[in-house]
Amino acid sequence: MGRKKNKVVLTEEEKEIIVDEIANRMKDIVFMNAGKRAAEIVPLIDFNSEDTGSEVQFVYTINFLVNDFIQILGRKRRDEIEDMIRDLI
């Protein structure tokens, strides 16, 4: 018989922390790869085009695992417990 999995319930504060952490990780990924991605885009640009208003579109995909989000939540909850213990000492 399989082990029953506990349902994770997020508080509003936890949701905000996860959103902030995801945003920061996204910024880090884009920052670290921006030069490489820009170098891939430049050859696609037709600098001699008469239609200078045409768009150059590129897609940037960032993949996260569910475990990434669980780790963020776990760190936040562990930090809270450590803070409570520190306050008791």
* pLDDT on residue 25: 92
The helix (run of H) or strand (run of E) holding residue 34 is helix 12-41
At 1 the pLDDT is 59
Per-run averaged pLDDT (10 residues), the chain, 89 residues: 79 93 93 89 86 79 90 92 91
pTM exceeds 0.75, yes or no: no
What pLDDT is recorded for position 53? 83
- Sorted by where each begins, the domain ranges of the chain are 12-88
Q: State whether the Cα torsion 41-45-47-52 is positive or negative.
A: negative
At 21 the pLDDT is 92
Predicted pLDDT of residue 85: 92
